[in-house]
Structure 1
């Protein structure tokens, strides 16, 4: 598509003149600016910090899609999301989901059970660390009917990434305070405990077993897990069999079912 410079500069002027800038206003401005550059169907903006539940800052979804992309996501599936793990690592830039996903992501039970509900052809994200361990991710989504982002459009977004990152840093400073308020009464801030950690403890898994099973659920193969944890593929398989035996299960779909059930308990 042709870049709509008129819409782009009008949005920049309106944003510069604005006296107050809420999450919604910042999201709408970023939506207008990115839509002036490329075509996409939806946008969602999350803030991530360490193991805390992500904060939804802005989205364009109707009620049904909001339930899938935000409400359901925040219950626990975010813990298996490649975007969440990339944000936690503090990486900056614009990335396609398929660049970040583990080697077995698109055949994993997480993908089949949750992510496939999104009916997306492609998702890409601007990753913008904003300080105090917080990363804001601006996700642009194209549905199956729209198709993936062409290489030329992705290149244009990559060129725009420094501006988007600067915009995000200006629009969403002070998010650490919001995470602190959301986390009051959930234990010491210096030792954050995620919902996943609580599940593994409840299921009586060792730290090594929990690390391996979490990577299995994210979509890593035994070979990929071995490389990440610096252990042999055989050791990974032994731990995996031990966990399955401990939980009385025989498949990844049963594992995911137990995981999601305990996340919501």
Structure 2
């Protein structure tokens, strides 16, 4: 598939992105949408801000109310902690990335993928990762449904060329996100702080798992194979498998489906 740009629309939006009247916080999402629309075809856009394990802030999206439930509300409730884009935002990994470039080796056969991600009906997701101050990363995602197919190599190359403009837009428009994260916690009050800061360490401690067991099961839920986990933690594949069996025995479960259910309920 070739790239089909709307140059008139591109030049118009570029004119809006420069000068004293450059888009502010409320105009940035629509401006990014218009910029991307001038470059290529996609089905959805969603922009999230991440800070640590806190619930992501949805800055902009193009979903219907029904789609918003799956892509935003359900995601913010806990599944984001297992999302490859969330993991990349924590490192951070600035740049333009395809989801499959960031996903662990068993992500597409993981329970998270089967039980949550497949509900989105996406063929592919590409994200612009923009690292800001105070540990905040903004991820601007372009999505295509299965019917639309994946982004071509030429389209991906074009998005990488557009990165400097996207970075400048984000840094100009969303330069006070720390305040928004702090306000979100304050609005929930003391009783809601857990929802804003999911304490994964507390979850596993309450389930009587050791630190090593907790690290392994989180990587399992993210979609890492035993081999991948062993490499990341510096232990043998056999040791990883022993720890996994011990976790299943402690929790009285026999499947990753049950493990994910326990994890998400405990976070809730």
TM-score by length of 1: 0.93
Pairing 1:208-223 to 2, within 5 Å after superposition: 208-223=212-227
Is the Cα–Cα contact under 8 Å of residues 48 and 54 in structure 1 kept in the other structure? Answer: yes
Residues 23/204 of structure 1: CA separation in 2 closer, same or farther (3 Å cut): farther
Q: Which runs of 4+ in 1 moved over 6 A?
A: none
The answer to whether the aligner puts 1:234 opposite 2:238 as a matched pair is yes
Q: Which residue of the other structure, out of 119, 122, 136, is the alignment partner of 1:120?
A: 122
Per the alignment, residue 264 of structure 2 pairs with: 260
Cα shift at 1:141: 0.1
Gaps of 5+ in 2: none
Check conservation: 1:109, 1:217, Cα contact below 8 A: yes
> Which shows bigger deviation, 168-177 or 211-220?
168-177
Displacement of 1:22 in angstroms is 5.0
Match of 2:160 in 1: 158
Partner residue, 1:99: 101
Pairing partner for 1:207 from 193, 211, 229: 211
Residue in structure 2 matched with residue 28 of structure 1 by the alignment: 30
Q: Distance in 1 between matches of 2:46 and 2:73?
A: 12
Query: How many residues are matched?
Result: 261
> Is this contact kept in 2: 1:23–1:58, CA < 8 A?
no
CA RMSD of aligned residues (A): 2.0
SS of equivalent to 2:27: helix
Instruction: Report if the CA contact (8 A) 2:84-2:99 is conserved.
Output: yes
For residues 112-155 of structure 1, the C-alpha deviation after alignment (integer angstroms, 9 at most, x for no partner) is 00000000000010000011110000000000111000110000
- Give the secondary structure class of the aligned counterpart of 1:212: helix
> Contact 2:226 / 2:241 at 8 angstroms: preserved in 1?
yes
